[in-house]
Structure 1
Amino acid sequence: MTKTGWCSAWFRRGLLAFCILASAFSREAEAQVARMEVIPFESLTLTDQEFLTGREDGKPVTIAGELRLPRAGTERFPLVILLHASGGIGGYLTDWEQEFLSMGVATFVIDSFTSRGIVNTNNDQSQLGRLAQTEDAYRALALLAKHPRIDSSRVMLMGFSRGGQSALNASMMRFQKVHLLSSEARFAAYVALYPSCNYSYSDDDDISAQPVRVFQGTADDYVPIEACRAYVQRLKARGKDVQFIEYQGAGHLFDGRAFKTPMTLPQAQATLNCQWQEGENGQLFNAATRQPFSYNDPCVKRGATLAYNEKAATEARKAVIEFVAATLKPVHSP
Structure 2
Amino acid sequence: MSLKRSFGSLILATLAGAAGAAGAQIDCHPHNPEDTQIVERGPVKSVIGPLAKFNPCHASVQLDMPTLFAKKRGDKHPLVIISHGGGGVSGYERDFAKLLNQQGYATLIFDAFEMNGIASRSELILYVMTNGARQRMIYKATWGAYRWAINNDKVDATRIFIQGLSNGASVAINMAASVDATHVRGVIAEGGPSAGIGFPDEIKVPLLLIYGLSDNYGGTRQDDWMHLRAMPCGINDHYPFAPDGFAKSCSRASNPTEAMPSPKSWYEEIKAKGQDIRLELIEGGGHGMMFGDFSSSSKRLPGRGAWYISRGADADTRKKAQQIVLDFIESKL
User: Fold match, TM over 0.5?
Assistant: yes
Where does 1:101-112 land on structure 2 (aligned, <5 Å)? Answer: 101-112=101-112
Conserved? CA contact 2:296–2:310, under 8 Å: yes
Q: What corresponds to 1:217 in structure 2?
A: 212
Counterpart amino acid of residue 189 in structure 1: G
Cα offset, 1:245, TM superposition: 0.2
Residue equivalent to 1:292: none
Q: CA deviation at 1:229?
A: 1.2
- Structure 1 match to 2:241: none
TM-score (structure 1 length as normaliser): 0.66
SS of residue matched to 1:188? strand
Distance 1:98 1:28, change over 3 A: closer
Aligned to 2:288: 253
**Which residue is 1:206 aligned to?**
202
Q: Distance in 2 between matches of 1:238 and 1:308?
A: 33
Tell me the amino acid that sits aligned with residue 188 of structure 1: R
Query: Percent identity between the aligned chains?
Result: 17
Query: How many equivalent pairs are there?
Result: 257
**What letter corresponds to residue 130 of structure 2 in structure 1?**
S
Distance in 1 (alpha carbons) for counterparts of 2:306 and 2:15: 37
Q: What amino acid sits opposite 1:123 in the alignment?
A: Y
Residues 205 and 165 of structure 1, relative CA distance in 2, 3 Å threshold:
same
TM-score of the aligned structures, taking structure 2 as reference length: 0.66
Q: Which has the higher strand share?
A: 1
Between stretches 216-225 and 60-69, larger displacement belongs to 60-69
**C-alpha distance after superposition, 1:116-139 (max 9, x if no partner):** 222232211238342321221110
- Change in Cα spacing, 1:250 to 1:42, as seen in structure 2 (3 Å) is same
Structure 2: 5+ residue runs without aligned partners? 17-25, 38-48, 219-225, 229-261
**Per-residue CA distance 1:1-46 (angstroms, 9 max, x = gap):** xxxxxxxxxxxxxxxxxxx56x97236765xxx4897979549867
| Equivalent in the alignment of 1:156 | 161
Amino acid at match of 1:118: A
Any unmatched runs of 5+ in structure 1?
A: 1-19, 48-56, 270-295, 329-334
SS in 1 for 2:61: strand
Mapped to 2, the partners of 1:240 and 1:163 lie a distance apart of 22
Q: What is the root-mean-square deviation in Å for CA atoms of aligned residues?
A: 3.5
Q: 1:118 maps to which residue?
A: 119
Structure 2 match to 1:195: 192
Letter in 2 for 1:237: A
Deviation at 1:152, TM superposition (A): 0.9
Partner Cα distance (2:211, 2:153) in 1: 35
Q: CA, structure 1 residues 27+199, in 2 after alignment: closer, same or farther (shift >3 Å)?
A: closer
